[in-house]
Structure 1
Amino acid sequence: MTHDIDELAQKLAPHYSHFDVSNRLLFTGHSHQAWPDVAKEGLQESFEVAATDVDNKWEAAFEKVDILRRYLRNFYEDPDGMYCLGQNTHQLLVSWLSSFDLQNKPKIITTDSEFHSMSRQLKRLKEEGLEVVTVDGHAEDIVKQIERQIDDQVSAVMLSRVYFNSGIVNQHITEIAELSRSHDIPLLIDDYHGTNVVPLSISDENLTDCYVLIGGYKYLQWGEGNCFLRYPSDCDLRPAITGWFASFSELDKTKEHRVSYADDHQRFASGTFDSSSQFRAAKVVEFFENMELTSEVLYRQYQQQIKLLQKTFLDKDFDTEVIQLAHQQPVENIGGFLALQSPFARTIRAKLMEKGVFTDARGDILRFGVAPYITSQQITKAMDELKRVASKINP
């Protein structure tokens, strides 16, 4: 197993020299993976195109966006899906929510395990009168929980495929989609922690009528400003929160009586964006393709790394009052990070940072996120440092 991990990691590491991945213990891959060196070339290209083409740079920028769309369509095996670019998932989420008649159908069903971009916004809207119902995202009977909450007041179901706080893969997405479909309720799937980690065929899983939030900041290595909302090709939603890029091709039609949503892939778009991030990301896509980093290759690397992280942690026999595995799920049910539970999570994270080990903590969960360029030796070093830090804590 370690040989397989190191073979790919050592092949990739020289291409991440600016982030110096060979000499740093970077275990925040689930929050921010390193960028390959070619990303810098993309940023330089964006400047050169802007300087040369000035306002005509948008043609080149849109070509870069199309490269990202093609990559996502291939990952999801989704040739017919629409992919709308957004600066962040929150902007896309808000635009999507504004499509619904929340005054007359004010109920949203979600889980207790959602990322801040969704959970914070829904909590705030709940303060304004929206009925937000949360079910246990990790429960085996999640489908039944959702079914019990469905009535004629529900506008949407919104939940994750891989939960950000635990790394656990939701095993019931297809069933939840079938349930939502049978009641004519739209389903929004937050896949920020699933894209490029856990393969998903939208066609095979019968999710073609679903909406999927995708972020490029983490496992895609695209950096900021490259988020997408995947939606079905026959979507006719009319978001009330809308920008002029949602109908870029019809800017000259000033006498329209009804706001149009004219452009493919742009239905939930906002306005002007910083296109340098798309130039950067397009270079990363080219790099991934040249290095043959297919979804199958990446998934195998992540699974092996998580398995080694978990085994190394257990072999060190930590004091469970200080730190322990956050759950007992098998590795095949885990995404791109190992979740450790500790009442001292934030203290441990800070102490690890002092030792040059990059992790992150959310509440009482310490997260070790892997990345394709991380070696087995780096995993061992990180766990050694965790043992030294944890042994100095008195529960």
Structure 2
Amino acid sequence: MYKQFYQGFLTANKGKQHFACHSHHYWPDVTRDAMLEYWDDSARLVDDKWRYIFSEKVPETQQLIADILQLPHPEQIVFAPNTHELVMRLISCFDLRKPLRILSTDSEFHSFSRQVKRLAEYDNVQLDSLATEPFSTFEQRFIQAASNQDYDIIFVSQVFFNSGYAISDLTQFVQQLAEQSKAMIVIDGYHGFMALPTDLSTVSERIFYVAGSYKYAQAGEGCCFMAVPLGSEHRPLYTGWFAEFGTLAAEKTATTLYSEDGFRFAGSTMDFTALYRLNAVLRLFKQQGITVGRSHQYVQKLQQVFLDKLEIVQHAKLNSSSLLMHDLNHHGHFLTFKLANASEAAELASQLKRAGIETDYRGERLRFGFGLYHDSADYDLSCLKETS
């Protein structure tokens, strides 16, 4: 149905069944043209490209993202090459000479979990990580935990990378957190953006929402973003010249100036090729009427067909018993199977790869992702019998 937009990657990977869309998503063909466009603009404008990018490309991309997430103030979106930069800028808003209390989970992606684990080696940093399992009680337990202490930062995923479990009602969840705590609330939306229909209109002034282009936005690495609450007066210690881009020509003062919009969290010089790619993909989807809702429904159908075909195979390790989450209505765009241990997951992933099925694993969890370039008619799981 949508394969026509991905001919470049599909041709280069003929014969493979690519179930790693949640990690290394194929790019639509328009991204190649976008990369050439960036080269042409750089050659045409040279140093003047910065003014063009910030006056044309950045606002257009901000608006495209804002439309998808129902954000009322596109100018509050800031870009960075990766989410780690954005996470560190958020943390640097706090005086690390004083106590810092962080509430999170045991299932956050490495950009956050590794960094705060290292910070927690300091005596003044307290990190409380709540177990996501059992999933049925997670939201209630997390909201309760938020009320137990006076936290400075609350960081939690919209969809958890190691399971696919998704917060059932993000708006309600955030509102309940905000009622319990005055902390900075950060939502890692990387596995939610462009996968699950997301409306941030009523919580945009209370949360920092972090996501990027690498996964379901299908534009590759290098363009992450953060939606910043309107009126934010935070002054990140980790800051770069983009954060005062509009004031560079002004007379310098003793005070470090920050942009009055989301770019107060900006960094420094970056390669905007990825932003061009993201811009091209989002414009393509808008032109073709491919909404997140339509995409999500398509992927849910793919997942169901996959599970039906898997049932026929009767694989000893990949089956309904090892499937971590069964409810596709509260689920991201990948299925996770929990195996006995990490070695077993690694070995099975390797066997599948040799059979032409691309997956990936995290610890003992093997993941199968689904994307728009899939056609369920192409699914051939007969080779799984050889790995059982």
Do both proteins adopt the same fold according to a TM-score greater than 0.5, normalized to the shorter chain? yes
Q: What is the CA deviation profile of residues 309-362 of structure 1, one whole-angstrom value per residue up to 9, with x for unaligned ones?
A: 222223322224999533243111111001112231111111221222211111
Aligned to 1:69: 62
Aligned to 1:170: 167
Aligned to 2:3: 13
Distance across 1 between alignment mates of 2:317 and 2:40: 55
2:315 partner letter: F
1:126-275 aligned at under 5 Å gives the runs 126-129=120-123, 130-138=125-133, 139=135, 140-148=137-145, 150=147, 153-171=150-168, 173-182=170-179, 183-204=181-202, 206-275=203-272
Which piece of structure 1 moves more, 310-319 or 144-153?
A: 144-153
Distance across 2 between alignment mates of 1:228 and 1:355: 37
Aligned to 1:84: 78
Change (3 A) 1:218 1:299: same
Listed as ranges, the gaps of 5+ residues in structure 1 are 1-7
2:64 partner letter: Y
Distance across 2 between alignment mates of 1:141 and 1:277: 35
Aligned to 2:103: 109
1:378 partner letter: D
Listed as ranges, the gaps of 5+ residues in structure 2 are none
Distance across 1 between alignment mates of 2:283 and 2:145: 46
Root-mean-square deviation (Å): 2.1
> Is the Cα contact below 8 Å between 1:342 and 1:364 reproduced in 2?
yes
Change (3 A) 1:151 1:101: farther
Which piece of structure 1 moves more, 61-70 or 88-97?
A: 61-70
Distance across 1 between alignment mates of 2:69 and 2:196: 10
Distance across 2 between alignment mates of 1:385 and 1:235: 54
Change (3 A) 1:43 1:320: closer
TM-score by length of 1: 0.89
SS at match of 1:90: helix
1:100 partner letter: F
Aligned length: 377
SS at match of 2:43: helix
1:355 matches 2:355: yes
Distance across 2 between alignment mates of 1:46 and 1:228: 19
Aligned to 2:368: 368
Aligned to 1:31: 23
Which piece of structure 1 moves more, 57-66 or 316-325?
A: 316-325
Distance across 1 between alignment mates of 2:222 and 2:171: 29
Change (3 A) 1:321 1:164: closer
1:197, CA displacement in angstroms? 0.7
Distance across 1 between alignment mates of 2:293 and 2:170: 20
Aligned to 1:53: 45
Identical-residue share of aligned pairs (%): 29
Aligned to 1:4: none
1:363, CA displacement in angstroms? 0.6
Aligned to 1:282: 279
Q: What is the CA deviation profile of residues 193-238 of structure 1, one whole-angstrom value per residue up to 9, with x for unaligned ones?
A: 000111111125x454111111110100121111001111111111
> Is the Cα contact below 8 Å between 2:325 and 2:336 reproduced in 1?
no
SS at match of 1:127: coil
SS at match of 1:253: coil
Of 338, 341, 348 in structure 2, the residue corresponding to residue 341 of structure 1 is: 338
Distance across 2 between alignment mates of 1:72 and 1:250: 25
Change (3 A) 1:299 1:113: same
> Is the Cα contact below 8 Å between 2:311 and 2:319 reproduced in 1?
no
> Is the Cα contact below 8 Å between 1:87 and 1:226 reproduced in 2?
yes
SS at match of 2:351: helix
> Is the Cα contact below 8 Å between 1:310 and 1:338 reproduced in 2?
no
2:144 partner letter: E
Distance across 1 between alignment mates of 2:161 and 2:113: 12
TM-score by length of 2: 0.91
> Is the Cα contact below 8 Å between 2:313 and 2:384 reproduced in 1?
no
Distance across 1 between alignment mates of 2:270 and 2:318: 48
Q: What is the CA deviation profile of residues 38-61 of structure 1, one whole-angstrom value per residue up to 9, with x for unaligned ones?
A: 111111111111111110111332
